Amino acid sequence: MLRILVMNGPNLNLLGTREPEVYGTQTLAEIEAMIAGRAADLGVDVMFFQSNHEGALIDRLHDAMGDADGVVFNPGAYTHYSYALRDAISSTGLPVVEVHLSDISSREEFRAVSVIAPVCLAQIAGLGAESYTKGLDTLVAHVRGEDR
């Protein structure tokens, strides 16, 4: 069975109370439950990881080379400036789908730039929690070769 890692970066542990007008009212645990439901429908195993620390996210990506077939990743604000995360993604060679709850292209100027997008399979943003389920669909279709 395919194993997919769903990773969340800084401040996403605060979903539910964090700027609900931007990010909605669902907690991360509720979003993860929704993703787990979609994973079950797709017949894939899913693992979850959240950290507020860049190095911990990099370490988990490295470990994913041994335990995952692909990654759905919301790097939070690291999206916009972490060349270290970008290098970690390209170093693993794993397919990674970048996801965001909000539409990063229509917010502050600094958010429109994603330094990780060039090394990701796709970017899905602005669909709220559904960005994650669509990200999972996109990733699984790619790993299964259904997008070719």
Active site residues: 23, 100
By beta-carbon proximity to ligand DQA, the closer residue of 11 and 90 is 11
- Structure tokens of 66? 């041994």
Both structure tokens of 41: 């429908």
The least CB distance from residue 30 to ligand DQA, in Å, is: 15
Q: Which residue type is seen at 63? A: D
Helices 28-42, 130-143: crossing angle, 10 deg rounding: 30
- 135 touches ligand DQA by CB under 6 A: no
- Judged by CB, which is closer to ligand DQA: 44, or 124? 124
The two tokens of residue 109 are 């100027």
Total residues interacting with ligand DQA, rule: CB under 6 A: 10
Residue nearer to ligand DQA on the CB measure, 50 or 69: 50
With left for phi above 0 and alpha for psi between -120 and 50, is residue 24 left, alpha or beta? Answer: left
Helices and strands (H, E) in the chain, number of each type: 5, 5
Which member of 40, 65, 77, 113 binds ligand DQA (CB under 6 A)? 77
Q: How far is the CB of 66 from ligand DQA (least distance, A)?
A: 26
- Choose between 73 and 94: whose C-beta lies nearer to ligand DQA: 73
Q: Which of residues 81-120 bind ligand DQA (CB under 6 A)?
A: 100-102, 104, 111
- CA dist 16 and 76 (Å) reads 15
Facing residues of 70 across strands? Answer: 4
Q: How far apart are CA 96 and CA 143, in angstroms?
A: 10
Q: Is residue 11 part of the contact set for ligand DQA (CB under 6 A)?
A: yes
Q: Which residues of the chain form contacts with ligand DQA (CB under 6 A)?
A: 11, 74, 76-77, 79, 100-102, 104, 111
